[in-house]
Amino acid sequence: MKQFLKGRLDIAKALSSNIPKTYADVVLIITTVLSACASLRWPGQGIDKKRFIELLVQHSPEDFHTSWVSIPALINQGVIREEETRYKGGNSTRVFCGEEIDLPINEANVQYPKVPKEQLRKYCYASLIYEWLRCGYAHEYRPYESVTHFPASCEEVRVSYIGRLIGENLIRMVSFYPDYLMSIAEYHISILVSEKSSPPTTWWIEEQSGKENDTMNHDERHTVKSLFYRLCKQEKQPFPKKYQPVDAPLKMGVYILRKNKTILHVGRTLHGKKGICQRLTDHLRGSSSFTKKVMEQLCGKKDIPTSTLS
């Protein structure tokens, strides 16, 4: 399946050389591939939207900004006023890139406390990619009315906005860049699951705003999970045998100890002159609590077995 989905993206890449004429076909292929990745993780009927958004928000690296809220979308829908955003002060006709005007969902919640968080989720990137692109092109072969295939900026960005006068109303048109959508799809193909997972107790898109503390914890877990995925993709190094030197960074940071595919320990160092190298040396010499307690319990001995670290 992974090779098949990669092949679909290869078709989309070939078509993307003639954007904007082929924008519809490129986006349709990419979003369909993302739907396939989500359905392989959580198979079932009637949950396509929930699992699509769940995949993009909860299983994407943080720098994809899939949980960022589109501020112009909120303006178009009458949720907030232009005067509450960067469009104020004579910027009504300015072209904005996503990072210049949009906000992470927690910051948007602080900036616009009267807007329910479920409303903010409705206009986050993941939701818009599903509703405005995936559904629009799949069901009617056209996007939502606020989407344009003409990029408002020549810069390499995720999203951009440009104003368009429709009747007497100025509508903020959004353009999702194909390269951005392609990078999301390529990432999810790279982590494609081979076995189905149990669906979450509560889908991200359905969380209630009355549970603010739980929501914050949920978002924090998402951030940690994204960082963990990034760490797991780093080059692995063999752990030296006892009394051999450790080849590791001298800076502070986070590391993973593995035995084959099993993650034994995720650690970090905030102190020590030699950073991660010093911390790993402590493990190697049996002078850390992890070595003394966890490894003794798992392996029946204090020596770290030959393994890998990230």
Q: Does residue 23 contact residue 155 with C-beta atoms inside 8 Å?
A: no
Task: Reply yes or no: is the peptide bond before residue 43 cis, omega within 30 of 0.
Answer: no
**Predicted confidence (pLDDT) per residue in 40-98, tens digit:** 999 999 999 999 999 999 999 999 999 999 999 999 889 999 889 988 877 777 888 88
| Longest distance between any two alpha carbons in the chain, whole Å | 76
pTM of the shown model: 0.66
First-to-last C-alpha distance (Å) of the chain = 28
What CATH number belongs to 237-309?
3.40.1440
**Predicted confidence (pLDDT) per residue in 252-308, tens digit:** 888 888 777 677 788 887 666 788 888 887 777 776 776 666 656 655 544 444 333
CA pair distance 177, 136, nearest whole angstrom: 16
Q: Which residue has the tokens 């178009």?
A: 76
Helix, strand, or coil here: 250?
A: coil
Local confidence band at 28 (pLDDT 50, 70, 90 cut-offs): very high
CA pair distance 53, 35, nearest whole angstrom: 9
CA pair distance 3, 69, nearest whole angstrom: 33
CA pair distance 57, 42, nearest whole angstrom: 15
Residue 254: per-residue pLDDT: 86
Residue 295: per-residue pLDDT: 58
Percent with pLDDT over 70 in the chain: 83
All structural domains of the chain with their residue ranges? 2-231, 237-309
Both tokens of 7, joined, read: 């092949």
Both tokens of 245, joined, read: 């030197």
